[in-house]
Amino acid sequence: MQRTSVVLGIETSCDETSAAVVDDGRLVRRCVIGSSKHTFVSSGGVIPEYAARQQVEAILPCVHEALTSAKVTAADLSLIAVTACPGLLGSLLVGTTTARVLSAVHAVPLIGVHHTLGHLSSTWLSDGPADDEPKFPILTLSVSGGHTDLWFRTSHTRGTLLGSTIDDAAGEAFDKGAALLGLGYPGGPLLAELAEKGDESFFAFPKPLSKDRTLDLSFSGLKTSLKYALRDLPAGTIDSGTIRADIAASYQYAIVHQLSDRIERALALHTDCKEVHVVGGVSANRRLRQEIDERAQKHAVRVRYPVALRYCTDNGAMIASAGYFLRQERPQSMSDRCETKATDDLRTLLAA
């Protein structure tokens, strides 16, 4: 019988500190996620120096808890996978330094993982035994606070970038919209919650790049439209009735419409796609899921999201999974790569 590959995944690219133990790239034994986001509410965003300092404190207890509650020791590990790029440099260094030391002390192989490749693997994760393996080719929308990309993937480590945002990421549009509406940070979940009570046909936000056949996206104009829409409201109206919720719902719909529209355009071009996957923080959005499900149904294609909301946003389990598949598919080229970089081009990695 083949030995189970037990992988420790570490993710510290932004303000989360996460460590997870995953078997064979799929079964999550334990995923610990600590966030310091609540401390940033007043500043409206992440303060890099502050995030890294908190991660220095949090990382060893987090790894320790992941290992002990998964009932494994370092000696049981087959691999340590860590986010190497892109991200906040100080934060990345906390994760990669920890991973390097653990790897050297316990003689466990180490692999550096691109953060977005982690999100792309998050649809493989499960909390219990799962025999329903996703099938390539897969059209994947990876949509978070830092990126918005549409991929055509033929394996875990091969694929083509079909389209990408030309300015802000969709999560950034949620966060900036939430800030303009006077909500907290991170704005996505808060704006989504408010939007549930509103009428999304209340205000017609622009539909960028809608006349082209491009698979690229654009969100920065939406934020500007929202700013002017709020400025032009008669004084005091924002707090009357459901206006704030109506504007939130209309703004959310403009983001959702654009994302689901690009998926539909891509499905029309790539009829051999077996599945559509939607990953990253924004994939937690209920309205987005509803719209994408409806559109994919017309093309008779199955849609998958991460099985739990904690695997949509940043987490160590997706890094463990990506590291496992990376090592399997590219043992020579990738197995000892763990250079920390602020950015790296996943397109080049997946095309090679």
> CA 135, 285, 169, 177: dihedral to nearest 10 degrees?
170
CB 248 within 8 A of CB 222: no
Q: Is 175 in the site for ligand KG4 (CB under 6 A)?
A: yes
Distances 230 to 194, 224, 238, 307 between C-alpha atoms, Å:
16, 10, 8, 37
Taking the complex as a whole, how short is the minimal distance between the CB of residue 119 and Zn ion, in angstroms? 6
Q: Could you tell me the CA-to-CA distances from 55 to 39, 82, 269 in Å, in that order?
A: 13, 14, 43
Number of residues engaging ligand KG4 in binding (CB under 6 A): 19
144 binds Zn ion (CB under 5 A): yes
What is the Cβ-side half-sphere exposure of residue 272, based on CA atoms within 13 angstroms? 5
Starting from the edge strand earliest in sequence, which strands make up the sheet with 27-35, in order? Answer: 27-35, 16-23, 6-11, 79-85, 110-114
Instruction: Point out which span in 64-72, 103-111, 188-196, 204-212 binds ligand KG4 (CB under 6 A).
Output: 188-196
How many residues sit in the footprint of Zn ion (CB under 5 A)?
2
Binding of ligand KG4 by 165 (CB under 6 A) = no
Q: Candidates 138-146, 157-165, 206-214, 225-233: pick the segment binding ligand KG4 (CB under 6 A).
A: 138-146
CB of 23 to ligand KG4, least distance (A): 23
Query: Which of 9, 86, 177, 187 touches ligand KG4 by CB under 6 A?
Result: 187
Considering the rule CB under 6 A, would residue 188 count as an interface residue with ligand KG4?
Answer: yes
For residue 237, the minimal CB distance to Zn ion (Å) is 36
Residues of this chain that interact with ligand KG4 (CB under 6 A) are: 14, 144-146, 171, 174-175, 186-189, 192, 280-282, 284-285, 313-314
Residues of this chain that interact with Zn ion (CB under 5 A) are: 144, 314
